[in-house]
Structure 1
Amino acid sequence: MNLYFRFIWLFLWRIGHCKKVSFLGTSRIDYRVLPLDCDINLHLTNSRYPAFFDLARTYLIAELGLMKQFLKNKWLPIVNAAEFTYIRDIKPFEKFTIETKMVGWDEKYFYIEHRILTKRGLHCIAHVRGVFMCRGKQVPVETLIAAAGYTDDMPEMPPEVVKWKQFLQLKKERNI
């Protein structure tokens, strides 16, 4: 339930007061672990990470200056795949920062990296592959890149994302 409040707070306050980042820049948003975010081991439960990453991607869209366009055009973000590497736990009431950035794209998908940090260091790295949909059809990657005003070349994808992409293709081929 508390993520609904965080989502409302994100839309009512934070998005209206966010800074602008470049298309390949890093977005940063801060949160604090509340008691309802914890599991029986008294740390941030693994199921909360994807929910926080949803909020962070929404904030990234706002910092890219695309929120009005997304709402007007009814573009909806859809996660196709995600992978997480948990490094250390985050304790109750601990403040953390989520760093989010676009690390690349291909003919169909965007690839986004999330990093969770506290004063104690790095806690989680995650990669998300996704698309944007509108009325049941995929919004072309080129349309979104143009909407962001990005005209440079695509960056080289990190090696771990390239390997992950290959792994996802193998999984798909072996299970058809």
Structure 2
Amino acid sequence: MYVWGRLARMVATAKSRGPFRPGDESRLHFRCLPSDIDRNMHLNNARYMMLADVGRVDIFLRLGFLKLAREKGWGPMMGGLQSVYVREIKLWKRFEVVSTAETWTDRQLIGRHRFLLEDGQTAAVIMTTAGVYDRRNKRFVPMDEVIAGLGIDATPRPLIPEEDTFLASHQGLRELAKTG
């Protein structure tokens, strides 16, 4: 099943997983299919990103963010990601994608996607940074405004050292991209 089918299945089953709140996890189960593999007969690196997208959309849908974004003219925007692969997901093997919204800074949400094998071992981790763009006012929305718009009373936890390192690396790469 290509990623569109997986996305449709996630949307169709979102209500059964209940609402998403800060601190929750999105847990989606998949199987590595022939359309997912590379020449090494394991999940290819691009598919990890696509499946992380499905986990993010699950969070957005269950959080009520997609509805709020439509009303306000907002759109989620990926800033970047970093991935690490430690074990392969082989053809036909089942695995789980565990997605979380870890914390946020002024205008950036830090997300994490863990790919778990059936025995619970981590196969890969993807850390992401994203923001919310207000198309009408041509600005990135402060995350506290997004959280308040969702009717959630929450404050961000302090960044852990790995998140600080990720954001610093991300900012350095952004500067490199801007300067050529």
TM-score, normalised with respect to structure 2: 0.86
Determine if contact 1:111/1:127 at 8 Å carries over to the other structure: yes
Pairing 1:127–2:123 present = no
Runs of 4+ in 1 over 6 A off after TM superposition: none
- Structure 1 letter corresponding to 2:44: T
1:62 aligns with 61
Q: C-alpha separation between the residues in 1 aligned to 2:115 and 2:64?
A: 23
Q: C-alpha separation between the residues in 2 aligned to 1:74 and 1:54?
A: 21
> Where in structure 2 are the equivalents of 1:21-36 lying within 5 Å?
21-36=20-35
Summarize deviations over 1:79-109 as a string: whole Å, max 9, x none: 1110001010001121111111111111121
2:8 aligns with 8
Q: C-alpha separation between the residues in 2 aligned to 1:26 and 1:72?
A: 25
Determine if contact 2:101/2:109 at 8 Å carries over to the other structure: yes
- Structure 2 letter corresponding to 1:65: G
* Identity of matched residues, %: 23
Shift of 1:76: 2.0
Q: C-alpha separation between the residues in 1 aligned to 2:77 and 2:65?
A: 16
Determine if contact 1:101/1:113 at 8 Å carries over to the other structure: yes
> Where in structure 2 are the equivalents of 1:14-53 lying within 5 Å?
14-53=13-52
Q: C-alpha separation between the residues in 1 aligned to 2:163 and 2:126?
A: 10
Q: CA RMSD in A?
A: 2.0
Structure 1 residue matching 2:163: 3-state secondary structure: helix
- Structure 2 letter corresponding to 1:10: M
2:166 aligns with 164
TM-score, normalised with respect to structure 1: 0.88
Q: C-alpha separation between the residues in 2 aligned to 1:154 and 1:170?
A: 23
Structure 2 residue matching 1:78: 3-state secondary structure: strand
Q: 1:38 to 1:151 in 2, by over 3 A?
A: same
Q: 1:62 to 1:154 in 2, by over 3 A?
A: same
Gaps of 5+ in 1: none
2:114 aligns with 115
Q: C-alpha separation between the residues in 2 aligned to 1:133 and 1:108?
A: 10
Q: C-alpha separation between the residues in 1 aligned to 2:172 and 2:75?
A: 27
Q: C-alpha separation between the residues in 1 aligned to 2:6 and 2:146?
A: 26
Shift of 1:174: 5.5
Q: Count the aligned residue pairs.
A: 175
Q: C-alpha separation between the residues in 2 aligned to 1:165 and 1:16?
A: 33
Determine if contact 2:104/2:110 at 8 Å carries over to the other structure: yes
- Structure 2 letter corresponding to 1:44: L
Shift of 1:56: 0.4
Summarize deviations over 1:121-146 as a string: whole Å, max 9, x none: 11011100011223253233122111
Q: C-alpha separation between the residues in 2 aligned to 1:6 and 1:49?
A: 13
Structure 2 residue matching 1:67: 3-state secondary structure: helix
2:75 aligns with 76
